[in-house]
Amino acid sequence: MRLLRIAALLTGRIKDLDSVLIIGAGAAGSVTAQKCAMNRDVFKKVHLASRRLASCEAVAKRCKTPIEISQVDADNVKETVKLLKKVKPDLVINMALPYQDLPIMDACLEAGAHYMDTANYEPRDEAKFTYKWQWPYHKKYKDAGIMAVLGCGFDPGQSNIYCAYAQEFLFDEIETIDIIDCNDGSHGKSFATNFNPEINLREVTQRGKYWKDGKWIEIDPLSISAMIDYPEVGPRKSYLIYHEEEESLVKNIKGLKQIRFWMTFSDNYIKHLDVLQSVGMTRIDPVMYKGNPVIPMEFLKELLPPPSSLGKGYTGKTSIGCIFRGTKNGKKKITMIYNVCHHEQAFKETGAQAVSYTTGVPPVVGAMMMFKGEWKGKGVFNVEQLPSKPFMDAIGDHGLPWHIKDLKVADQKELFAVKT
């Protein structure tokens, strides 16, 4: 088996792989582990590890087939390498915090395991979302004969693959992309975040930006909004924010002139966010409290409901997609690719709400693509650099069906009227 694997690496092919280690047992990591355990024809061995063993035990109880579990501090490279050498996974799916991307990538390099994540690295002390720390690993991974797949959640992830698919099959040239993300659901809490509060609030409170005519343009946080008509939801107020997939898409979608990312936030969410910001609770620098340094954002996280607790009773749906404007056969066209995911259905299957579900399912299908040899290579890749059709053919069967809809300017009149 070892000789077969070496031969596969030398030829650039990834095959005869069947063992996966998932690091991170939060809401999305739970979905990933459960979905891997549902697909034993591909994943013969499933191992879940987290800082808290109790979290792994809770996930294991939900899995339809038995999985193995371990405790690991993913910030500690030596400890993670020790676990990898014990478990011997073919692939590590990193569902931990973005702060831990680089330590886990280092551990995979040392242990010779393939790597996949759903969000790019960011330092703990700076809300900076960029691939500049991970892309330089390309040569190291290439020299080691292993593959790293970055940003294989929904957005980034499935949204990037929508873009690659549109570029290859729907357009001759894509001029603009608007990625639109709506959670039209209710969890019944006065205030909560649908994924890790630290990451969610850092993402929203940083300065926004978009890419146009070859340069990045920065804006004040939540300073530009528009009413966007979401499939199966209807018009919802949406805010222009920066999202990491924009950085890779401007490199990989040819002829692109503009890309923007839009997300909905309720008035109640904005009200709470304004108050939290005004009193300093979203700060990520330490403050002294009774002689001890405390980071307000980390303290706030402990006060808010964990995302994994939100699924029960969550109503409504998510509606996420990409709107493309470009040309095909010399004619202008506007097309949307999108998915709608219902919170109740996600909870019934995995005990998670739809935001966690839409993040946790794509890496499972991405791993299938690697294990089946559809995605192969040596080095570091964003998902839109890999074949889109096999992924698109498979993802619907695993809970995230997609749809294509041709549009007219009048269908998204206010969105297209926004001057950026």
Average pLDDT for 110-137: 92
Q: Is the pLDDT of residue 103 over 50?
A: yes
Number of Cβ atoms within 10 Å of the Cβ of 279: 10
Q: Is the pLDDT of residue 4 over 60?
A: no
What residues contact 347, with CB distance under 8 A and at least 6 apart?
A: 311, 312, 314, 353
Average pLDDT for 234-240: 97
Distance CA 277, CA 275 (A): 5
Q: Is the pLDDT of residue 299 over 80?
A: yes
Q: Is the pLDDT of residue 7 over 60?
A: no
pLDDT of residue 360: 98
Indicate the pLDDT class of residue 3, thresholds 50, 70 and 90. Answer: very low
- Max alpha carbon distance in the chain (Å)? 68
CB 257 within 8 A of CB 213: yes
CB 199 within 8 A of CB 97: yes
Classify 290 as helix, strand or coil: coil
Distance CA 345, CA 341 (A): 8
CB 280 within 8 A of CB 296: yes
Average pLDDT for 85-109: 97
Distances from the Cα of 141 to the Cαs of 92, 132, 175, in angstroms?
Answer: 14, 15, 33
Average pLDDT for 262-269: 92
Q: Is the pLDDT of residue 17 over 60?
A: yes
CB 298 within 8 A of CB 198: yes
pLDDT single digits (tens) 191-228: 888 777 777 887 888 899 999 999 999 999 999 999 99
DSSP states of 212-232? ETTEEEEE-TT--EEEEEETT
Classify 237 as helix, strand or coil: strand
CB 73 within 8 A of CB 50: no
Average pLDDT for 34-61: 98
CB 12 within 8 A of CB 376: yes
Which spans in 220-334 are helix H? 245-252, 267-278, 296-303
Q: Is 45 left (phi over 0), alpha (psi -120 to 50) or beta?
A: beta
CB 227 within 8 A of CB 417: no
- Please give the sequence-ordered ranges of beta strands (E in DSSP) within 36-90, or none if there are none: 45-50, 68-71
Q: Is the pLDDT of residue 102 over 60?
A: yes
What does pLDDT average to over the chain?
Answer: 93
Distance CA 403, CA 260 (A): 21
pLDDT of residue 129: 81
Q: Distance between alpha carbon 387 and the CA centroid of its chain, in Å? A: 18
Q: Distance between alpha carbon 136 and the CA centroid of its chain, in Å? A: 20
pLDDT single digits (tens) 56-91: 999 999 999 999 999 999 999 999 999 999 999 999
The percentage of residues in the chain with a pLDDT greater than 70, rounded to a whole number, is: 96
CB 91 within 8 A of CB 117: no
For 7, the token pair is 């031969």
pLDDT single digits (tens) 371-388: 999 999 999 999 999 999
Nearest to 200 by CA among 252, 143, 129, 280: 129
**Domains of the chain in sequence order:** 2-155+357-398 (3.40.50.720), 158-350+401-417 (3.30.360.10)
